[in-house]
Chains A and B, each alone.
Chain A
């Protein structure tokens, strides 16, 4: 994305992001408050909507774009994401596995 040089266009950009984020927030809250889905299905929805909302925030509020961004900026963000998934994912995996073995 190239930066909008037109004020109305830039405002619209933020409003689009806000509307998407609002929708992605309201649906999981509604599902939890009034939904009839099973717990695993609800958790799936919460996780999916949360991930999409993170991407929406990065795209519309933090103005990150894969095409036009400078390479080193993207590398910083992607490298941090990889580190985070290894450390957080690894922790959860190992500890869940351990808990499972302790209970058997």
Chain B
């Protein structure tokens, strides 16, 4: 037999993990319910952004073309995409019961990539503020600062969560509880990368195309 059936959406621990694998099912399902409600929040922020992305809502203030820094957006996209891969490797290290050092290593790399992403995004916001593109300038910019930093806050929360998991792995090691938490965190991280696809496509690429 070369494969296991899927018990829950996302990376499965697999039958090699015994009862941990079965116990994860309800928790992971619950976390998916959260992710999907979060998806609705993001979706409506996107709808608001698209609605506000017109000359009337620019109110004579900065337009997307004026402040979008495409190289920076590209770098952020790459950081987040690579961090999805490295988190995947961390998940595999746990699924295949490799050393905890290896899981920790990939988690730390993911954390650094996440911090790099947030830093670049903050630099972008500082540039925007300096040129007067503040949330209060126009309805369009309010929508922009409702959507993009909301994602940034999620990534920040994800980074803090990774940090907490690194501590928990050190204190408790890998057990039924920490394994499930890591699976949820992996889902959260991959989910944020999916939301970012929407942001770089609609806000950044759509803004300068």
Using a CB–CB cutoff of 8 Å, the interface residues on chain A facing chain B are: 1-7, 10-11, 14-15, 17-18, 21-22, 25, 28-29, 31-33, 39, 42-43, 46-47, 49-50, 53-54, 57-58, 61-65, 68-70, 72-73, 76-77, 80, 83-84, 87-89, 91-92, 95-96, 99
Contact of B89 among A4, A14, A70, A72 (CB under 8 A): A14
Given A18-B84, A76-B29; 20 other pairs, CB 8 A cutoff? A3-B14, A4-B3, A5-B14, A10-B96, A18-B88, A21-B84, A29-B205, A43-B209, A50-B202, A54-B194, A57-B197, A62-B10, A62-B187, A69-B9, A70-B6, A72-B29, A76-B32, A84-B43, A87-B44, A92-B51
Main secondary structure of the interface of A (DSSP, over half): helix
A68 to B12, CA, bound (A): 13
6 A–B contact pairs at CB < 8 A? A3-B14, A5-B16, A43-B206, A62-B187, A76-B29, A91-B48
Contact of B70 among A4, A33, A77, A91 (CB under 8 A): A33
A28 to B193, CA, bound (A): 17
Nearest CB of chain B from residue A20's CB, rounded to whole Å:
11
In the complex, identify which listed stretch (B33-41, B122-130, B162-170, B173-181) lies at the interface while the others stay far away. B33-41
Nearest CB of chain B from residue A45's CB, rounded to whole Å:
9
Q: Is B81 an interface residue (CB 8 A)?
A: yes
- Please give the number of chain B residues whose Cβ is less than 8 angstroms from any Cβ of chain A in the complex: 58
Report A-chain residues with C-beta under 8 Å of the C-beta of B10: 62-63
- A64 close to B9 (CB less than 8 A): yes
Q: Is B115 an interface residue (CB 8 A)?
A: no
Q: Is B99 an interface residue (CB 8 A)?
A: no
A43 to B50, CA, bound (A): 13
Q: Is B105 an interface residue (CB 8 A)?
A: no
Report A-chain residues with C-beta under 8 Å of the C-beta of B51: 91-92, 95-96
A95 to B57, CA, bound (A): 12
Q: Say yes or no: A14-B6 contact (C-beta < 8 A), given A25-B77, A62-B191, A80-B39.
A: no
Q: Is B58 an interface residue (CB 8 A)?
A: no
